[in-house]
Structure 1
Amino acid sequence: MTSPIFALADEYITSYAQLDPMFAGAVGIKGDFGVATDFGPDAEAQRAKLYRDTLARLNALDSTGPADDLARLHMAERLQVFVDRHDAGEWRRALRVPYGLLQTLVGYIDLAPRETETDWRLNAARMRAIPEMLATWRQTMNAGIEAGETVAVRQAVEGAKQARRNAESRVFDKHLKAYGDGALANELREAAEAAYAAFAAAADYLERTYAPHAVAEDGVGEERYLLAARSTLGAVLDPHDAYAWAWDELHRIEDEMEAEAERILPGAGLSEVIAHLDATVAVDTAEEYLAWLQAKHRGALEALNGVHFDIAPELMNLDVQLVHGSSAGSAYYTGPSEDLSRPGRTWWPVADRERFRTWAELTTVFHEGVPGHHLQIGQSKVAGDGISRFAKVFGSVSGHAEGWALYAERLSDDLGWFTEPGTRLGMLKGSALRAARVVIDVGWHLGLPLPAAEAKRHGGQWDFDVALDVLTSRGRIAEHRAHPEIVRYAGWPAQAICYKLGERAWIGARDEAKAAGGAGFDLKAWHTAALNLGPIGLDNLASVLRGQ
Structure 2
Amino acid sequence: MSLSDEMFQAMMDWDPLFATLVGVPGWDDRLEDPSTEGQQALRARLTAILDRVGSSDEDQVAKDVIRHQATSIITKIDARLVEHTVSRGLNAPVGVLLRATSQIDFSRRRHLVPRFLRQAGERLLDSDRRPLLRHARNGAAHVERFLASPKQEWEGELDLRGEFARYREVLLGLPGRDDEQAGLCWLPDGEENYRKLVRDYTTASYTPAELHALGLDLIARLREEYAEIGSRVWGVSDVPEIFRRLRTDLLWDNEDEMLVSAVEAVARAEAEAPNWFGRLPEARCEVRFVPEIDRESAPFAYYTDAALDGSRPGTYFVNPFNATGRSRTVSEVTAFHEATPGHHFQLSIAAETELSNLRKFAFVDAYLEGWGLYTERLADEMGLYSSDEARLGMLGLDAMRAGRLVVDTGLHALGWSRQQAVDYLCENTTMDDSEISSEVDRYIETPGQALAYMVGRLEILRLRGEARAAMGERFDIRAFHDLVLENGVVPLSTLGNLVSDWSRRA
Corresponding position of 2:43: 48
Equivalence for 1:417 = 384
Question: 1:521 Cα deviation (Å)?
Answer: 0.9
- Structural mapping, 1:160-179, within 5 Å: 160-168=140-148, 170=149, 176=152
Aligned partners of 1:270, 1:482: CA distance in 2, in Å? 18
Indicate if the aligned counterparts of 1:264 and 1:273 stay in contact, CA closer than 8 A: no
- Write out per-residue CA displacement over residues 231-279 of structure 1, whole angstroms, 9 at most, x where no aligned residue: 2122232221211121011010011101111100114744555665667
- 2:182 corresponds in structure 1 to 218
2:125 counterpart of 1:142? yes
Distance 1:199 1:299 in 2: 44
Cα separation, 2, equivalents of 1:498 and 1:18: 24
Which deviates further from its counterpart, 328-337 or 250-259?
328-337
Aligned 8 A contact 1:359 1:421 in 2: no
Of 68-77 and 280-289, deviating more is 280-289
Cα distance change of structure 1 residues 431 and 267 upon mapping to structure 2, 3 Å threshold:
closer
| Residue aligning to 1:77 | 68
Q: In 2 relative to 1, CA 250–129 (structure 1 residues): closer, same or farther, beyond 3 Å?
A: same
Separation of aligned partners in 2, 1:190 and 1:526: 52
Any residues of structure 2 matched to 1:57-76 within 5 Å, and which? 57-63=52-58, 68-76=59-67
Cα gap change, 1:215 to 1:87, in 2 (>3 Å): farther
Q: Unpaired runs of 5+ in structure 2?
A: 186-190
Counterparts in 2 of 1:84-483, with a 5 A limit? 84-87=75-78, 89-90=80-81, 92-93=83-84, 95=86, 97-100=88-91, 101-112=93-104, 122-143=105-126, 145=127, 148-168=128-148, 170=149, 176=152, 190-191=157-158, 194-208=159-173, 210-211=174-175, 217-221=181-185, 222-267=191-236, 269-270=238-239, 272-273=241-242, 281-304=250-273, 306-324=274-292, 325-354=295-324, 356-384=326-354, 387-393=355-361, 395-447=362-414, 462-483=416-437
Is the CA contact (8 Å cut-off) linking 1:285 and 1:355 kept in structure 2? no
Task: Read off the aligned partner of 1:48 and give its amino acid letter.
Answer: R
Partner letter of residue 356 of structure 2?
A: S
- Going from structure 1 to structure 2, the CA distance change for 1:340 and 1:214 (only over 3 Å counts) comes to farther
Indicate how the Cα distance of structure 1 residues 527 and 33 shifts in structure 2: closer, same or farther if over 3 A, else same: same
1:505 corresponds to which letter in structure 2? Answer: E
What residue is the counterpart of 1:30 in the other structure?
Answer: 25
Q: 1: distance between equivalents of 2:271 and 2:106? A: 34
Secondary structure of the residue that 1:332 maps to in structure 2?
Answer: strand
Counterpart amino acid of residue 133 in structure 1: F
- CA offset at residue 47 of structure 1? 1.7
How many residue pairs were aligned?
Answer: 494
TM-score normalised by length of structure 2 = 0.88
Contact 1:407 1:503 in 2 (8 A): yes
Give 1:280 shift.
6.5
Offset of residue 93 of structure 1 = 4.5
1:28·1:339 contact (CA, 8 Å) conserved in 2? yes
- Corresponding residue of 1:10: 5
Distance 2:176 2:74 in 1: 30
Shift of 1:391: 2.1
Q: Does the C-alpha gap of structure 1 residues 296 and 199 become closer, same or farther in structure 2, counting only changes over 3 Å?
A: farther
- More deviation, 407-416/123-132: 123-132
2:341/2:375 contact within 8 Å kept? yes
Q: Distance in 2 between matches of 1:32 and 1:503?
A: 33
Question: C-alpha offsets along residues 392-448 of structure 1, whole Å, 9 cap, x if unaligned?
Answer: 12x121111111111100111122222325001110111111111111111221116
Q: CA RMSD in A?
A: 2.8
Q: Which ranges in structure 1 are unaligned for 5 or more consecutive residues?
A: 113-121, 177-184, 449-461
Tell whether the 8 Å contact from 1:505 to 1:541 is kept in structure 2 after alignment: no
Aligned partners of 2:452 and 2:484: how far apart in 1? Answer: 18
* Structure 1 CA distance for aligned equivalents of residues 181 and 224 of structure 2: 34
Identity of aligned residues (%): 25
- Once residues 448 and 349 of structure 2 are traced to their aligned partners in structure 1, the CA distance between those partners, rounded to angstroms, is 26
- Larger deviation, residues 502-511 vs 47-56: 47-56
Indicate the SS of the match to 1:333.
Answer: strand
Cα distance in 1 for residues equivalent to 2:171 and 2:242: 43
Q: Secondary structure at the match of 2:306?
A: coil
Q: Which amino acid aligns with 1:142?
A: L
Cα distance in 2 for residues equivalent to 1:30 and 1:248: 46
2-structure distance, mates of 1:25, 1:365: 24
Q: Shift of the alpha carbon at 1:499?
A: 1.4
**Distance of aligned partners of 1:188 and 1:510 in 2 relative to their CA distance in 1, 3 Å threshold:** same
- Kindly state the Cα deviation for residue 488 of structure 1 after the two structures are TM-superposed: 0.7
The separation in 2 between residues aligned to 1:268 and 1:150, in whole angstroms, is 45
Q: Residue in 1 aligned with 2:487?
A: 533
Equivalent pair of 1:432/1:475 in contact (CA under 8 Å): yes
Q: Kindly provide the amino acid, as one letter, of the partner of residue 514 in structure 1.
A: R
Does the C-alpha gap of structure 1 residues 318 and 59 become closer, same or farther in structure 2, counting only changes over 3 Å? farther
Corresponding residue number in structure 2 for 1:491: 445
| TM-score (norm. length: structure 1) | 0.82
